[in-house]
Structure 1
């Protein structure tokens, strides 16, 4: 499977929002600096994410973005599909016309793999990623780097 930069960056940016939910809107400039993603690229991604209602924006001074739904209701598959980056393993993109209008011998195998990958990513929410990334006793600073507490550092 090859996930494009667009899908990876969209997931990263959404995770940044999830990590900072409840602290006010997050600007694209903050995400750009913290995650090393071009501001213009983030603007394109957020237009797609906004159109699928995965984020909502607040204009004006102190504005920025919030998650469009609770983080436990947004799956990684939702994010990847929102930026039109679904990974399809079949040669025919699922049309079953790989071989002169007919499916190739391995079409079913690759189609099942595509479905498994989708199911895997659909079962993981942003809230799951936050929990996995932070673990017990960790805090997050503005750069989203887990900060170990004194017990974990020892």
Structure 2
């Protein structure tokens, strides 16, 4: 399973709205500028998130977007499914040998469990507590 920019940037929108939860609506142009993203693309993603009932828009001079629920009640899985569709690792799983089916199902279930247990509140807390980015793997050839 590969999460596209839809899922990644949509999660960014949601985390930014969660950080400012209770402060009123946040314009997408602020989120776009703060994160170096395209406002036009974020508008497309916001429409999907709004249709999924995760955010609502507020019109007017002080308008923008805000979460429909508290960050502790929105899970990463809700966001990813709204933007990417169902979580599927392998197409045509029924045609795989039983041992491979079992492996793919275990992996799918593990991914689902992480997404369902991780809330926006968790992600905001992680961002606030993280002083340096986690070390990436370095490969030398």
What TM-score does the superposition give when structure 2 sets the normalisation length? 0.84
Question: What is the aligned residue count?
Answer: 130
Q: Name whichever structure is richer in helix by fraction.
A: 2
Aligned to 1:24: 24
**Runs of 5+ unmatched residues, structure 2:** 132-141
Aligned to 1:66: 66
Runs of 4+ in 1 over 4 A off after TM superposition: none
Counterpart of 2:97 (choices 86, 92, 104) is 104
Deviations 1:58-97, CA, capped at 9 Å, x for gaps = 01110000111110000001100011344422232x5x2x
**Runs of 5+ unmatched residues, structure 1:** 139-154
* Post-superposition offset of 1:33: 0.7
What TM-score does the superposition give when structure 1 sets the normalisation length? 0.77
Matches within 5 A, 1:1-154: 1-92=1-92, 94=93, 96=94, 98=95, 103-105=96-98, 106-135=100-129
Are the counterparts in 2 of residues 75 and 122 from structure 1 also a CA contact under 8 Å?
yes
* Post-superposition offset of 1:50: 0.4
